[in-house]
Amino acid sequence: MTENTTTRLIQSVVDHLVETDTDALNGWGENRNQLIQVGGDMLKGVDKVISGDLRIIKDDGTVGTYPAFRVQHNNACGYYKGGIRFSTGVNQAEVTTLSMLMTLKNALHHLPYGGGKGGVHIDVRKHSKRELRDVSQAYVRLLKNDIGPYLDIPAPDVGSGEEVMDWMTNEYKALHPNEPFINTFTGKSIANGGAKGRSESTGIGTFTSYLYLLDILTNDKIEVNEAHQSVKESVKAIGKKDEPVKLAIQGFGNLSQASALAAYNCEVPHKIVAISDSRSTLYSENGLDPEVLVPFKQKHDRLPNESELKELGIEATVEDPKAVLTVDCDVLLLGAIENQITKDNQADIKATILVEGANGPIDRDADDYLESQGKVIIPDVLANAGGVTVSYFEWRQGNTNEDKSKEEILNDMNQRMKDVSHEVFSAYFTSEHGESMRFLCFKLAFIRIIDVMKRTGKLI
């Protein structure tokens, strides 16, 4: 989703609240509409941008220079919180959009945080470990006075991970002697104060959100109005059929591997008919076994080719990476990168339910088109919050010294994912105006944020 798409969606929430939904925030008195407009304008801007070039001496003795950013979008609901991306796609606009999404995601999920995001423009594959450590430390020096356990709490994102968080924690500690430091970053290694289950939390939470939808529609556990009956029936048909749910998964990294394992071991039978990564799609009508494919991918950083599939005893065809999107399936879990479904391939999507594990995999036009075709899209801002939820547990654990087991942490995260999903699904299946689930997520989050802004005197 681009910055413009995000700000446009915020504006449409404002317009909707002013023109259509006069029940919301109706205790605000006669200047209600003006306050809503001002709240929207505030959320379309950011609180602070910190940027600079990180410079390190590389292994070959030359100087490497990397543009770096941290955007603090809004802290009405709590400390700024959001990941740090190491990628060549990083620029200020991308980081800004992602910081806005974090504010909305954290508010939607009732987490005590605002939104922020960071990024370094770097190709991690072209750097040694020592170079990446030096870049990580330089990034912390850039942000020295702008991050902290009660100010702005970064976490890993694409291209960074627990090792980077451990390096950054150590640099922050060195720069701030005699001050609290352990909660400045989440997503650290368990030995360094990280929470158990953090690495699989996003993929499991994404699957949980979808499975909850399947459950409540199949088993009539939620009110559904006339306008949404046909969608309900098509989802129910998937849940009620005698054969396993057919699932296709795009991407096979941290998120998708955990989702694939959750699906494979789920008590509701699932058959994973396709899995892809940036190089290929594996397709099998009889289903793929992630318990074999995950270790292979982790060892080789790619999916097996035809002869390796034979050696592994897997019957599957190898197709091009995009094939996963259009295979015959009930559910498509998008767990790779942004802008994968566009007007070029929207008409070829066979899945009834699309789940956004990745941020922004469906572009705005395709989003509208797929909704109009009766597909259900569980949006990123709802589906992929398992990671930030467990980051919150990690931060809480750092404050209290509690030591929860992985099972307790993942159960707690799954329950929260179901609770928030229930709120969103209830709003969606009873909505009268044909709003998308994404729009309703933005609306619920927006109301929560501007309500706090008003209570705390930021809107008056």
Give the active site residues.
117
Contact flag: residue 118 with ligand NAD (CB under 6 A): no
Number of residues forming the site for ligand NAD (CB under 6 A): 22
Contact flag: residue 397 with ligand NAD (CB under 6 A): no
Among 6, 209, 346, 384, binds ligand NAD (CB under 6 A): 384
Contact flag: residue 276 with ligand NAD (CB under 6 A): yes
In whole angstroms, what is the distance from residue 330 CA to residue 247 CA? Answer: 6
Residues in 231-250 that interact with ligand NAD by CB under 6 A: 250
Among 51, 128, 265, 278, binds ligand NAD (CB under 6 A): 278
Contact flag: residue 357 with ligand NAD (CB under 6 A): yes
Contact flag: residue 154 with ligand NAD (CB under 6 A): no
Give me the least distance between CB of 310 and ligand NAD, in Å please: 22
In whole angstroms, what is the distance from residue 147 CA to residue 172 CA? Answer: 9
Contact flag: residue 382 with ligand NAD (CB under 6 A): no
Residues in 11-50 that interact with ligand NAD by CB under 6 A: none
The encoded tokens of residue 168 equal 């950054």
Contact flag: residue 262 with ligand NAD (CB under 6 A): no
Contact flag: residue 417 with ligand NAD (CB under 6 A): no
Among 47, 94, 277, 394, binds ligand NAD (CB under 6 A): 277
The encoded tokens of residue 253 equal 């990294």
CB atoms within 10 A of CB 21: 17
Contact flag: residue 251 with ligand NAD (CB under 6 A): yes
Among 82, 115, 387, 398, binds ligand NAD (CB under 6 A): 387
Radius of gyration of the chain (CA): 22
Give me the least distance between CB of 328 and ligand NAD, in Å please: 18
The encoded tokens of residue 184 equal 């400045």
Q: Mark residues 302-331: x for contact with ligand NAD by CB under 6 A, - for none.
A: -------------------x----------
Contact flag: residue 202 with ligand NAD (CB under 6 A): yes
Give me the least distance between CB of 156 and ligand NAD, in Å please: 7
Contact flag: residue 389 with ligand NAD (CB under 6 A): no
CB atoms within 10 A of CB 239: 17
Among 39, 82, 335, 379, binds ligand NAD (CB under 6 A): 335
In whole angstroms, what is the distance from residue 151 CA to residue 89 CA? Answer: 27
Name the residue nearer to ligand NAD (CB basis): 39 or 387: 387
Contact flag: residue 336 with ligand NAD (CB under 6 A): yes
Among 24, 35, 312, 337, binds ligand NAD (CB under 6 A): 337
Which of 314-352 are b and which e, b meaning 16 or more Cβ less than 10 Å from the residue's Cβ?
Answer: bebebeebebbbbbebbbbbbbbbbebbeeeebeebebb
Cβ neighbours for 289, distance < 8 A, ≥ 6 positions apart:
264, 314
Name the residue nearer to ligand NAD (CB basis): 122 or 255: 255
Give me the least distance between CB of 184 and ligand NAD, in Å please: 18
CB atoms within 10 A of CB 359: 20
Contact flag: residue 82 with ligand NAD (CB under 6 A): no
Give me the least distance between CB of 384 and ligand NAD, in Å please: 4
Comparing CA positions, the residue from 20, 22, 74 lying closest to residue 45 is 74
Give me the least distance between CB of 19 and ligand NAD, in Å please: 33
Give me the least distance between CB of 217 and ligand NAD, in Å please: 25
Contact flag: residue 99 with ligand NAD (CB under 6 A): no
In whole angstroms, what is the distance from residue 424 CA to residue 216 CA? Answer: 13
Cβ neighbours for 425, distance < 8 A, ≥ 6 positions apart:
212, 213, 216, 222, 437
Give me the least distance between CB of 95 and ligand NAD, in Å please: 12
Comparing CA positions, the residue from 339, 251, 325 lying closest to residue 5 is 339
Question: Of all residues in this chain, which one has the CB nearest to ligand NAD in the complex?
Answer: 253
Piece in contact with ligand NAD (CB under 6 A), picked from 12-20, 144-152, 162-170, 351-359:
351-359
Piece in contact with ligand NAD (CB under 6 A), picked from 48-56, 126-134, 177-185, 354-362:
354-362
Residues that bind ligand NAD (CB under 6 A): 157-158, 202, 250-256, 276-278, 321, 335-337, 357-359, 384, 387
